[in-house]
Structure formats: C-alpha cells, structure tokens
C-alpha cells in the first residue's frame, strides 16, 4: 500500500480512538471539566503531562532546529528539559497543595486581588494563543503533506477533532486522550530513530549510536567541505550570551506554562503530584535523549540525498516531489550547472528546506516502510493535538472560571459554568484556527516566544508567591505588567517591526529572560515600598511550604 493509504488508515484509527475516549470521558460538572475530578492516577497523569508538554515543537520542529543549528540547537534540549525539572521539583507540589483550578486562580487568591487575577488571565491567554499557533501550524504541515490536502483544510480537520473531546470531556477527556497520544507519539518517534541508527552505525540504540560511533566526525567533515561550520562547533549560529538567555527563558518559561501547571491539579493529592512529575520526566526523557541522535542522522541523510545531485535525479524522488508541492522544500539551479548545491550562503544555496519537515521527511528519505512514514505522521498529529487541547482548556478556564465564575457571577450554577467553559473552548478553537492558517514563524520559533512570555509574566509571581510571604498584590501586578509589556514589545518590534535586537544582540527567543528579571526586580521593589500582605495571606504562604502531615505519615509508613 502507498504512504497515503497507510496514513489514512493509521491517522484515521488514531482519530477514532481520540473520539471514543472523548465520548467515554464526557463530564457533567465543572470540577470534571476543569480538573478531571482530581482523580487521575500518577502514571497516567505523567503520560498526559508528557504529551501535553511535548508539543509539535518537540516532535516536529526541535530535531529540525538542531539539525540546522548543530551544537547551538542544544538550547532547546537544555531549556525545555531543565525547565520541566524546575517545575516538577520547585513548584508543582506547592501549587497542588494550594488546591486551585488554574494559575490565575493561584495568583488571584495568593495576591488577594481580582486585578492580579485579571492580569494573570490576560497573560495566560496571550501565552496560550501564541503557543497554540505553533501546534496548529504543525497540524497543517502534516495534513498538507501526508494526506495531500490544503494546509487550511488540515487545520480545520484538527480543530474539529480537538473540539470534540475538549468540549465534551474537558480536562478529563483531554487527559485520557493525551495518554493515548503519548503512546502514539513516542512509538512514532523511536522507530525511525532506531532504524536510522542501525542503517548509519549498526547500533540499534540511538543514544549509543550518536555517542560511540564516528557519525559526528563524518558529518563534521561534510559540513566543512560544504562551507559550513562543524556540526558540533559551539556558538556558530548564536553568540554565547544569546544561547544563555534563550536557555534560561525556555527553562523558566516551562516552569510558568499554565497548561502544564494545571496538570498537577488533576491528581488526588500532593504526593500524587510528586509521583506524576517523576513519571512525566521519565516519559519526556525518552524522546529528549533521542532527539540529538535523530537530528544528526537526519542531517547526514539529507545532505547525502540532495547535495550535488542533478535536478532530474532529485525530482524523480517521490518524497522530494511531494514535499516540494507543499512549498516547504524548494530547488533552484542558480548557476545553471544542472546540479543542486547546499551552501551556507543564501545567494548560492540551491536547496531551501523548512526546518519543520526534517522529522516528518526523514523516514521517507531513509526509504523506510510506508507504515513507518504514516506512523510518524500520526505521531506529529498526536503531539500537536495533545498540546493544543491543553492550551484551549487553559484559555477556556481562564475566562469561564477565573473571570466569569470568580468575578462576574460567583453564584453561577454548575450547568451555567459548564456551558460557559464549553463555549469558551469553541471560541478559542476559532482563534487557534486563525493562527494555524496565518502562522507567525516556524513551529519551534513560535513556541519559543510563548515560553519567553510565560517566563516574563508568570514565573516570578509564582515563585515569589510560594517562597516570599512579603510579596504583595501591588508588587505582583506591577511585575507581571512590566515583564509582559517589555517582552511583548521586544518580540514584536524585532520579529515583525524591523527593530534591531538592541539588548546586547539578544534574540526575541531569549528576551524573556530579561523580562523575567525585570518582573522579579519590580515585584520585589514595589512590594517593599508598599504595605505587606494581610496576616492571613502570610500565614497561608507559611502553611503552603510546611510539610503536609498526612503526606509525611504516608511516606514514613512506606519506609
């Protein structure tokens, strides 16, 4: 069977599974809709967290970025994994103990202010919409190539699928769907990596093949021969300061992502939150330790398949023809010699490759079985849809729970709260679809912006809200507003307004670190210049950091 037939079968089957889970998980109250009745087992929540966190950026774009950036692409590995460790160890247990539904809920109650709550709502929506843009672009890319449909049509199909299980089941439907999506995406990621490891090195374990073979030396030599820097040479594509700032922004941005944080509210207790964080870290590590190997294998394979081949030879390749039709791969024989050259200079380079196709195209380039190629397509969709669903619920809960229920109509019935939540999911889907059709950049780039916005808005408010009882509402509000405005203005100005990166050459992806530091300083200074929080809030913070008696007894009993 052809790749297209296999793709229709595997993607269709996976979609049926998602729809079935969504129908079986439909909920009738707001607690089920927003936090899955707080009854998700630790290991299932760990898998759902991993799927929620490993978005289209992780599955589709990250290996592509590393393939093109080489050593400097490690910022995504270090930043995203380091950030999850920071979240799991430093924040998640305390946030779960606080017992609220959402991050704006935490901010609003901890800082005893509806203004702070509204600022957090705006930040959550801003971050989530930016992030979801990358997911919907990923959905469109997969559909446009593997099912030969228009990108816009692919985005609409993805919206319908996500909308079904998100509207019916809320967080409960999303959680159990994400468990299935994790299984699909990790299998889809590992099979091509293992196959390439065997083909290129003879070692079936990608991590060992990457570390203990001569593939890196071979690729370094090829890069030098073509005029590129060595693949493993540091600070070629980004200066050292920018590498540092992007890594920090991704780390603290991860720790402030509302759609990941809310996952720790879906488990029964604090102990379960800790265990689910550990499971998620294990599930995430499987993909993230494989990504550097897959990146190197893909780069090596891609150069050998395209460079110095004639235009006729390349256009006879079925995969190249189909990707060229998506306009994500382009060939131009600029010097008229009949052969295609891959060079670092734009005016002489004759092969243009979108970073987002690397993982999706690699199985075809390596001539793997059609069902493997189709499985990778299903994995890319699973990664994009799992994160998109979590983000849509954040937007929905921010408006339906944190604005409507907590501010506008505190006496709203369960039915009315559930209706508003579902309505907000539908409206959020429309916004997500728009960004999927009109994406502002590569999947990985767009997601990096979202992390920067989360870093500059949420992280200081959360970390100080837990560990500094003197931080008050005036400081938190001033800090969040300052960080969000500065970071947004810099990203928009540099990325879309032609403004030079004036802060020591730091890129838009890294400016969230500066925004976070500004937020932190402003929060601390304003808090010290204004009255301290009420005594009951300070006592709440003290209690938040004290060991839970039941949890301590449970742990002692285990030993």
Answer whether 325's CB lies under 8 Å from 315's CB: no
Rounded Cα distance, 124 and 102, in Å: 10
Q: What does DSSP assign to residue 213?
A: S
For residue 47, the enclosing domain spans 3-299+368-554
CA proximity to 93, closest of 485, 503, 552: 552
Look at residue 403 and tell me if it is in a domain: yes
- CATH code of the domain containing 151: 1.20.1730.10
Number of domains in the chain: 1
Other CB atoms within a 10 A radius of the CB of residue 534 amount to 12
Rounded Cα distance, 288 and 170, in Å: 28
Three-state DSSP class for 231? coil
CA proximity to 72, closest of 221, 242, 217: 242
Answer whether 4's CB lies under 8 Å from 147's CB: yes
Lookup: tokens for 225: 């021969």
Answer whether 477's CB lies under 8 Å from 158's CB: no
Backbone angles phi, psi at 484, to 5 degrees: -70, -45
Q: What is the pLDDT, as a whole number, of residue 557?
A: 39
Lookup: tokens for 189: 């990621």
Answer whether 335's CB lies under 8 Å from 343's CB: no
Look at residue 489 and tell me if it is in a domain: yes
Look at residue 189 and tell me if it is in a domain: yes
Look at residue 335 and tell me if it is in a domain: no
Rounded Cα distance, 326 and 25, in Å: 36
Q: What does DSSP assign to residue 113?
A: -
Q: What is the pLDDT, as a whole number, of residue 97?
A: 82
> How does strand 329-331 pair with strand 351-353?
antiparallel
Rounded Cα distance, 393 and 372, in Å: 32
* DSSP bridge partners of 331: 351
Q: What is the pLDDT, as a whole number, of residue 242?
A: 93
Look at residue 359 and tell me if it is in a domain: no
Lookup: tokens for 15: 């979609």
Rounded Cα distance, 449 and 130, in Å: 7
Backbone angles phi, psi at 536, to 5 degrees: -70, -30
> What is the SS3 assignment for 334-385?
CCCCCECCCCCCCCCCCEEECHHHHHHHHHHHCCCCHHHHHHHHHHHHHHHH
Answer whether 420's CB lies under 8 Å from 404's CB: yes
Backbone angles phi, psi at 417, to 5 degrees: -65, -40
Q: What is the pLDDT, as a whole number, of residue 434?
A: 80
Q: What is the pLDDT, as a whole number, of residue 550?
A: 45
Look at residue 8 and tell me if it is in a domain: yes
pLDDT along the chain (559 residues), means of 10: 86 87 79 79 91 80 88 88 83 79 84 90 81 75 75 80 74 85 92 93 94 93 93 90 92 80 81 86 92 93 90 87 85 89 90 86 88 89 82 80 84 83 83 73 61 87 93 95 93 86 91 95 97 93 71 38
Look at residue 345 and tell me if it is in a domain: no
Residues in contact with 77: Cβ distance below 8 Å, sequence separation at least 6, in sequence order:
62, 66, 288, 291, 292
Q: What does DSSP assign to residue 500?
A: -
CA proximity to 138, closest of 451, 393, 442: 442
Burial of 484 (0-12, 13-18, 19+ CB in 10 A): buried
**Where would I find the beta strands (DSSP E) of 216-269?**
none
Answer whether 268's CB lies under 8 Å from 41's CB: no
Burial of 19 (0-12, 13-18, 19+ CB in 10 A): middle
Rounded Cα distance, 164 and 162, in Å: 5
* DSSP bridge partners of 310: 339
Q: What is the pLDDT, as a whole number, of residue 217?
A: 94
Look at residue 185 and tell me if it is in a domain: yes
Lookup: tokens for 29: 């109250």
What does 414-449 look like in DSSP terms, one character per residue? HHHHHHHHHHHHHHHHHHHHHHHHS--S-HHHHHHH
Q: What is the pLDDT, as a whole number, of residue 444?
A: 52
Q: What is the pLDDT, as a whole number, of residue 446?
A: 64
């Amino acid at each position: 069977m052809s790749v297209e037939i296999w793709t229709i079968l595997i993607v269709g089957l996976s979609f049926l599974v998602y729809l079935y889970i969504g129908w079986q998980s439909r909920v009738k109250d707001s607690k089920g809709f927003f936090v899955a009745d707080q009854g998700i087992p630790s290991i299932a929540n760990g898998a759902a967290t991993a799927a929620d966190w490993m978005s289209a950026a992780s599955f589709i774009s990250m290996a592509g970025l590393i393939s093109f950036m080489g050593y400097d692409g490690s910022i995504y590995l270090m930043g995203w994994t380091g950030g999850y460790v920071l979240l799991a160890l430093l924040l998640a247990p305390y946030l779960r103990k606080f017992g609220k539904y959402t991050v704006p809920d935490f901010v609003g109650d901890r800082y005893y202010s509806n203004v702070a709550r509204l600022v957090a709502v705006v930040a959550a929506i801003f971050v989530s919409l930016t992030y979801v843009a990358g997911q919907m672009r990923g959905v469109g890319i997969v559909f446009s190539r593997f099912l030969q449909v228009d990108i816009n049509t692919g985005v609409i199909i993805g919206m319908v699928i996500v909308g079904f299980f998100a509207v019916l089941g809320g967080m409960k439907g999303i959680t159990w769907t994400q468990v299935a999506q994790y299984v699909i995406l990790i299998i889809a990621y590992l099979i091509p990596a293992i196959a390439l490891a065997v083909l290129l090195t003879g070692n079936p374990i990608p991590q060992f093949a990457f570390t203990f073979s001569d593939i890196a030396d071979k690729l370094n030599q090829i890069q030098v021969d073509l005029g590129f820097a060595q693949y493993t040479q540091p600070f070629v594509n980004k200066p050292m300061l920018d590498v540092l700032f992007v890594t920090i922004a991704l780390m603290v941005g991860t720790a402030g992502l509302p759609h990941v944080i809310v996952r720790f509210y879906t488990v029964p207790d604090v102990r379960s939150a800790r265990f689910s964080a550990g499971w998620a870290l294990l599930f995430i590590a499987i993909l993230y330790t494989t990504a550097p190997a897959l990146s190197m294998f893909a780069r090596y394979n891609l150069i050998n398949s395209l460079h110095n081949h004639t235009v006729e030879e390349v256009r006879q390749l079925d995969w190249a023809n189909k990707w060229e039709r998506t306009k994500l791969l382009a060939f131009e024989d600029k010097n008229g010699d009949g052969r295609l050259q891959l060079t670092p200079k734009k005016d002489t380079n004759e092969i243009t490759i979108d970073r987002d196709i690397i993982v999706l195209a690699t199985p075809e380039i390596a001539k793997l079985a059609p069902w493997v190629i189709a499985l990778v397509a299903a994995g890319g969709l699973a990664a994009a849809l799992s994160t998109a669903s979590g983000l849509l619920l954040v937007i929905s809960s921010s408006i339906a729970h944190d604005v409507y229920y907590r501010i506008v109509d505190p006496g709203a019935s369960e039915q009315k709260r559930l209706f508003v939540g579902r309505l907000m999911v539908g409206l959020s889907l429309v916004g997500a679809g728009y960004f999927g059709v009109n994406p502002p950049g590569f999947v990985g780039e767009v997601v990096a912006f979202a992390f920067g916005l989360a870093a500059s808005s949420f992280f200081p408010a959360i970390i100080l809200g837990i560990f500094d009882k003197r931080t008050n509402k005036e400081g938190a509000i001033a800090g969040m507003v300052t960080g969000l405005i500065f970071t947004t203005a810099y990203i928009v100005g540099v990325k879309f307004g032609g403004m030079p990166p004036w802060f020591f050459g730091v890129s838009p992806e890294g400016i969230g670190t500066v925004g976070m530091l500004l937020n932190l300083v402003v929060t601390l200074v304003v808090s010290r210049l204004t009255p301290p929080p009420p005594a009951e809030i300070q006592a709440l913070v003290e209690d938040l950091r004290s060991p839970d008696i039941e949890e301590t007894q449970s742990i002692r009993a285990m030993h």
